[in-house]
Amino acid sequence: MVSKQAYQEQLEARLLVMQTEIDQLKVKLRQAERALDEYKVDFDSDGALEEMNEYFEEIRITLYDLKAANDEVWQPLMTGIGEAWNAFNDNLTDIHHRIK
């Protein structure tokens, strides 16, 4: 049986990986914005938005698993990831509208 502490540490490690992946998606978004501005290339904003929505759902589930393990750790992580998601989603939605 896994201890509560070990389970919490495992969830926190998964969240760190997810935060890194979110940062990588932000880089891809900035690259897409530059490509759109510089070259007016086609960009699958619908696909990118759907991919990010699916990924955020996975993060949300992991965060609620962490909440069950430790509420004090959960709140700041949820707030930080929520803010990052909102900023990313706003930028991607803006790109989506600019190319439609």
Query: What b/e readout covers 42-56, taking b as 16+ CB neighbours within 10 angstroms?
Result: ebebeebbeebeeeb
Q: Using an 8 Å Cβ cutoff, are 81 and 63 in contact?
A: yes
The pair of structure tokens assigned to 74 is 């959960």
pLDDT in tens, 49-73: 677 777 777 777 777 776 666 666 6
Residue 75 in this model has a pLDDT that exceeds 60: yes
pTM of the model: 0.43
